[in-house]
Structure 1
Amino acid sequence: MSNLEIEPGAAPESVLMTTDILDNLDQMSSSLEEIKSISYVTQEECNEIPNNENFDYSNNDNEVPPTEDDFHLNKEWTSKLKHVFILSMAGKPIYSRYGNEDKLAWLFGVMQTLVSFIQSSDDCIQSMHAGDTHFVFLVKKPLILVAVSKTKESDSQLRYQLNYAFNQITSILTLARLNKIYEQRQNYDLRRLLAGVERLIDHLLTFSENESSVMLGAVQCLPLNASIRDTISSAIVGACSKIKNLVFAILLANNKLITLVRMKKYCLHPADLHLIFNLVQASESLKNSESWTPLCLPKFDASGFLYGHVSYLSEDCQACLLLLTVEKDVFFTLSEAKQKIVEKLRRSNCLEAINESLAAPLESCASAGFTEIRHYLYKCKSTAQFYQPNISPPYTQTKSDLTEIYKRTHHRLHSTSKPLKLLFERNSNEAILAWDTKGFELFVVFEPLVDTSTAIVLVGRLLNWIKKREEKFFHLNAPTF
């Protein structure tokens, strides 16, 4: 590791906000007051938007459709390993991951009673354990979120997932509007405003359970040569630099970031980008036409909307472009800019490069020469980006086992009672090393017979290997309009 002058993936300036997801569930950007001076969408204007009626939140392949027979003794319902419930502070049902909220009204009432009882003692309920079942509560006024889980996820990991669900609701309504609704009517049925949004929440919960990006508080980039990524960024800057009050331009594909161009001084929080990923992945309708939708990014500003022009580049390149602005009447201006971007990318063969990267599987550990390593996660803290190789045997058919290993190890490394900087453990199935440094986090799963000294040597080689390829694996430049 002596050849590393600086950790792989580090850059002088980042397009993403540096964050530690463990400590920043409620942290907001400090730049909001400044950006509001450039005609940011006001709350009064937000109230004129009739619940995003021009946007389709449907088509979630992971959704389990509710049935008329859903109730607390239904075997299909009780067999689920994890339930998530959302209710108002008054106990009004808002969301249930499985089943029908109306048939579970009694259960929502019990949850609200528990929260109120503890609050009457000037305390706040965090969790309860009954055998192998965890009841985790997140009270975020004016809502209460509850996870009932038999999985091996920690309470803190379940709480992150609940926070994401809360952010998903905020992204549709804004926190300001949500608070105003319940200030005026405590018993308001929020489902009237969230019709169809439950599909986004369903998809987001699955995303937060299965994607390492949520656990790490980071984003993975689509591997591209640095020259290609720079050309794509330059094409966006050239087409958009004269458009007033364009805040972010984001190009992504397959839950991976291709490039992010931003207004000077402003960065995007990884949690907000995860919401954008979820929106794109959960909405098949986006592939059919250009869309125009208000979108609140809670970590950027929970009180107002950005307007988003959302479209895929072309029929022969399934990368999605989002142009986010504070202006509500520039759909056609952004549509023209999008066409200019596509023309430039086609002339420079960037569309082909994106397609080739999407079609090519990530390099596996074995093909990279690390036969003793099965898989790893590497996160650069300063840029909030991470890289992982392709999943290979023995986890090809059991990805959930690998996910569980990482969640358990991450929890041990970042335990609130006894945090660790370095962890190495070995069992009959695998050996695991986790390392938390000032600049990066690394989680490595080895073959079970690897000893400590060999693991250290392999980690040094691995970091040097990533360092040599950092321009391909990470978004190192921070282009601005």
Structure 2
Amino acid sequence: MFRRENAGDEGLLPKNTDNSFSTDVLEESSDFTAFLAGAELKQDDSSPSLAADCPAVSQSPSNHNEDVTTDSWRSRRKHVFVLSEADGHTIVFLQKGPLMLVSASKSHQSELQLRSELLHVYHQIVSMLTQASINRIFQHRKNYDLRRLLFGSERVLDTLLDVMETEAGFLLSAVQCLPLAPSARDALSQILQKAVTPNLVLSILLINGQLISIVQEKMVIEDARLKPTDLHLLLNLIRASSAFQTGEIWTPICLPCFNPDCYFYTYVAYLDPPDCTVCLVLLSTDKEAFHALAECKRKIEEGIRTHNALQCISKAQQCQVHHVGVAELSHFLFKPLDIPDHHSQLPQFTSPDVEAPYSTEEEQIYLMDLYWHLHSRIHSTSRPLKLLYHATQRETLLAWVTGKFEMYACFSPLVTKSSAIGAVTKLLRWIKKEEDCLFIRSPLKYSTTPPEARGFSNGRVQPNRQDKSDSSVLSLL
């Protein structure tokens, strides 16, 4: 693929002094292309012949109109495509092992951002099949049609593509927590901490895609902690399949950023049927642990009833932009960067509910496009910025990155740069005041399994490799 740059095009073809192409030039160009079309390929007799090594090259003009769906077209040794920018798309390629992923986008995202989206799609496929299985399949059959294994997973991938359009967690590589009083969150975390069993690695409590609480086995060390991408993919898988709302589900799930070649055995159950908003996810390295984890769920439900925690969760108020007390502020994204490393917590962000004038899905995508644009400018590989002020006819935006935070704020139009910075200062004060409610500052841990026990090796959690008896998560879709 050739990319035409704006600068330098003027010297490619001769021009008249009035900057328009002359009739003579067009006629000469036509004569030249006609000459090329009728030219014969001549070979120096002294040159070695390649006829025995290469497919025959036909000079028939009919090749120009050959049907690209035919076997003869597909069998040709090489194809070269020349594209122009007139289509208005950015085309990005990503090769991961035997798979080639392609994005053709009309959005405002940069090539780096589009490539990140393709990587999420690849990781979602890996979460269902594992990377080792994919590589093994294509080592045996390079022309294998992977759609056969992914049959029924179309909704998972479609949902992923949809949520990446509107959810800021993918932009910021972070997860969002439900705003909750620290005492209530601590009580829920302690309930999870007490309901454990050998080889249980992670206990996660979620509501509508937001994190309520997470506790983890102490053996989950630095290079084996849960990554935001893994949680996003896990959430998307649960959200995309109605099977998870039917009862207790036990299925192998791969967390690609944790270990792309192995499965965790995952217990998923909603704690508030039939609403199905509060979801419990337990991950184990033991494929026979279903009944043990079901007992953990029973203990958690008992603890939640004792503390009346479901009512507390339902009453938790989602962050609203008017809580900040800045009249000009329409929306914001905030990600703290100064979290002590020993907390071993997931990167998190906070953001208010999207309100008018961005209430519809179309307007939310428009707003996210603006954030994607600011993000690409701030994190430009050629010219990174710390502060960016951007004004449109409909809104004014400010992006600001320091060693302590990354922020994107959207204001009403006509707000000046100095006014925007002053408003952001007020916003930062409000976030500092509410940070214990907005973020999980010190996640709890537990210890259930000695290092020499099954599932642990050299101090690291080792998910189990799928054997032939494992039922794939695809059976749920």
TM-score (norm 2): 0.72
SS in 2 for 1:469: helix
Q: CA contact under 8 A between 2:94 and 2:102: conserved in structure 1?
A: yes
Q: CA contact under 8 A between 1:414 and 1:420: conserved in structure 2?
A: yes
Q: CA contact under 8 A between 1:409 and 1:434: conserved in structure 2?
A: yes
Report what 2:201 is aligned to: 247
Select 2:150's aligned residue among 194, 209, 212: 194
SS in 1 for 2:324: coil
1:439: Cα distance to partner? 2.1
Within 5 Å, which residues of 2 pair with 1:292-307?
Answer: 292-307=250-265
1:129: Cα distance to partner? 4.9
Q: CA contact under 8 A between 1:293 and 1:307: conserved in structure 2?
A: yes
- After alignment, is 293-302 or 415-424 more displaced? 415-424
1:335: Cα distance to partner? 0.3
Aligned partners of 2:155 and 2:278: how far apart in 1?
A: 22
Aligned partners of 2:237 and 2:129: how far apart in 1?
A: 15
Q: CA contact under 8 A between 1:413 and 1:420: conserved in structure 2?
A: yes
Within 5 Å, which residues of 2 pair with 1:311-322?
Answer: 311-315=269-273, 318-322=277-281
2:135 pairs with 1:179? yes
SS in 1 for 2:109: coil
Q: CA contact under 8 A between 1:317 and 1:355: conserved in structure 2?
A: no
Report what 1:170 is aligned to: 126
Q: CA contact under 8 A between 1:292 and 1:310: conserved in structure 2?
A: yes
Report what 2:364 is aligned to: 399
Aligned partners of 1:371 and 1:422: how far apart in 2?
A: 22
- After alignment, is 348-357 or 127-136 more displaced? 127-136
Select 1:436's aligned residue among 401, 404, 407: 401
Aligned partners of 2:191 and 2:443: how far apart in 1?
A: 14
Select 1:330's aligned residue among 277, 285, 289: 289
Aligned partners of 1:110 and 1:394: how far apart in 2?
A: 51
1:391: Cα distance to partner? 1.8
Q: Which amino acid aligns with 1:271?
A: T
Q: Which amino acid aligns with 2:209?
A: N
Aligned partners of 2:84 and 2:265: how far apart in 1?
A: 41
The unaligned stretches of length 5 or more in structure 1 are 1-104, 119-124
Select 2:267's aligned residue among 285, 298, 309: 309
Higher relative contact order (CA 8 A, sep 6+): 1
Aligned partners of 2:438 and 2:267: how far apart in 1?
A: 27
2:421 pairs with 1:463? no
Select 1:136's aligned residue among 76, 87, 92: 92
2:172 pairs with 1:216? yes
Change (3 A) 1:365 1:111: farther
Aligned partners of 1:227 and 1:330: how far apart in 2?
A: 31
2:201 pairs with 1:236? no
Q: Which amino acid aligns with 1:377?
A: L
Aligned partners of 1:430 and 1:419: how far apart in 2?
A: 23
Report what 2:348 is aligned to: 385
Report what 2:470 is aligned to: none
Aligned partners of 2:75 and 2:130: how far apart in 1?
A: 23
Report what 2:469 is aligned to: none
Aligned partners of 1:110 and 1:161: how far apart in 2?
A: 32
Q: CA contact under 8 A between 2:266 and 2:284: conserved in structure 1?
A: yes
Q: Which amino acid aligns with 2:271?
A: L
Q: CA contact under 8 A between 2:189 and 2:214: conserved in structure 1?
A: yes
1:152: Cα distance to partner? 2.5
Q: How many residues align?
A: 363
Aligned partners of 1:234 and 1:399: how far apart in 2?
A: 36
1:110: Cα distance to partner? 9.9
SS in 1 for 2:233: helix
Report what 1:355 is aligned to: 314
Change (3 A) 1:309 1:111: farther
Q: CA contact under 8 A between 1:145 and 1:162: conserved in structure 2?
A: yes
SS in 2 for 1:314: coil
CA RMSD of superposed structures (Å): 2.5
Q: Which amino acid aligns with 1:133?
A: H
2:237 pairs with 1:279? yes
Report what 2:5 is aligned to: none
- After alignment, is 344-353 or 183-192 more displaced? 183-192
SS in 1 for 2:325: coil
TM-score (norm 1): 0.71
Q: Which amino acid aligns with 1:320?
A: C
Aligned partners of 1:106 and 1:437: how far apart in 2?
A: 53
Aligned partners of 1:467 and 1:356: how far apart in 2?
A: 23
* 1:359-383 deviation per Cα after TM superposition (whole angstroms, max 9, x unaligned): x4x3432343111111110011345
Aligned partners of 1:129 and 1:212: how far apart in 2?
A: 29
Report what 1:261 is aligned to: 215
* 1:39-67 deviation per Cα after TM superposition (whole angstroms, max 9, x unaligned): xxxxxxxxxxxxxxxxxxxxxxxxxxxxx
Change (3 A) 1:426 1:189: closer
Aligned partners of 1:338 and 1:434: how far apart in 2?
A: 43
Aligned partners of 1:200 and 1:112: how far apart in 2?
A: 34
1:435: Cα distance to partner? 0.6
* 1:343-374 deviation per Cα after TM superposition (whole angstroms, max 9, x unaligned): 101110111111222xx4x3432343111111
2:103 pairs with 1:147? yes
1:205: Cα distance to partner? 1.0
SS in 2 for 1:449: coil
Q: CA contact under 8 A between 1:134 and 1:155: conserved in structure 2?
A: yes
Q: CA contact under 8 A between 1:221 and 1:475: conserved in structure 2?
A: yes
The unaligned stretches of length 5 or more in structure 2 are 1-67, 340-345, 447-477
Q: Which amino acid aligns with 1:244?
A: P
TM superposition outliers: structure 1 runs of 4+ over 4 Å: 109-114, 127-130
